[in-house]
Amino acid sequence: MDYYDLIIVGAGPAGSTLASALENSGKRILIIDKQDFPRDKTCAGWVTPAVMETLNVDLQDYGTVRTLQPIRRFRIGMMGQAAVENDHGDVVSYGIRRCEFDDFLLSRVTSPKQLSTPVKSIARREGNWVINDTWEAPLVVGAGGHFCPVARLLGDGPGGHETVVAAKEVEFEMTPEQASACQARGDTPELWFCRDLKGYAWVFRKGNYLNIGLGREDNHKLTGHLQAFVEEMKSTGRIPADLPGRFKGHAYLLYAHAERPLVDDGILLIGDSAGLAYTQSGEGIRPAIESALMAADVIRRAPDYSASSLQVYGDAIAERFGNRATDSEQGWQVPDWVKMPLASTLMRSHWFTRKVVTEKWFLHQEVPPLQIAV
């Protein structure tokens, strides 16, 4: 049996950030992931300057050999009506490929890594957690996304009664012919909201790579909405007529709708494993990074790994992201017969699509970068 002070399950942005933040803590850390890296990761893939600042990423160095698409504009609309385009002037976000971004963050981790290793068992023995009958630690952190095996140890876990967003998307490198036919611009992601407001689609060009997808809170209608959206984008020339490969699915929880506990004795959840994606946009990278840094701060200071000691982390999450029980946008809690015409009108407004949809919901510009001593 190999003993560690902490085992992190999941080597994505949350897990790798936590491991990096704790490297000078004197704790022996193991990070486990079921896949090898770099690995394919389904995600639209944009990060704000606040994320890059928090991670201390040298943008010039990162963009030398990796995709780093500056974003200065957004094109936003409701399906079935004309889109509104807003120019923000400065760079307000960056397009990245998750296969590159996640591998970059993990490459900065010097702690031991156990990749290509699915977690088959987690057992409690004499106050410690034992994973796959091989690795033992008093604290295990779930950072393995929506279906993280550590999350199954708390409450209903994945597959419970939570309202889950289901998404399908495809990302591919365009041929010269596809690139010339594609009217979507690299510095202008396109967001198209479903008319029932239960989800949105996107077209996001990152250099020669194109990402197309749609996410909804009622997945039984997902495929039909996606097919209709793709055909509309093809007919208007926004995307190439010939799309290679198939759309891949994934799931995640929105923060205000998630019900998972964040801590228990010897357990702590971060990132999508904890259901921290922003409620209005579904973005999960910034919450994942920030939750990992808050967790690192708590782990450094905790006198032990009891639920009562780790609850400081839960309190910090609530302070940063709001109370889940009351975090809904009250302005939208109106009857459908009012909401639908109102939303259609608002999505034609330059002020609303810029100040509310883009700057507040998707960029969170009013939220300063996380300042925490780790």
Instruction: Report pLDDT for 332.
Output: 42
What class does CATH assign to 2-45+97-159+257-326?
alpha beta
Residues of the chain with pLDDT under 50: 326-333, 373-374
CA distance 248 to 268: 29
Other C-beta atoms lying within 10 Å of the C-beta of residue 244: 11
- pLDDT, tens digit, 9 for 90 and up, residues 232-255: 999 999 999 999 878 999 888 888
Range 74-88+164-253+340-374 has CATH code 3.30.9? yes
| Strand-strand pairing, 164-173 and 140-142 | unpaired
Look at residue 73 and give its three-state secondary structure: strand
Structure tokens at 229: 């959206």
Tell me the pTM: 0.92
Across the chain, which distance is largest between two alpha carbons, in Å? Answer: 63
Closest CA to 121 of 9, 285, 255, 280: 9
**Same topology for domains 2-45+97-159+257-326 and 74-88+164-253+340-374, yes or no?**
no
| Strand-strand pairing, 6-9 and 29-32 | parallel
The domains of the chain are located at 2-45+97-159+257-326, 74-88+164-253+340-374
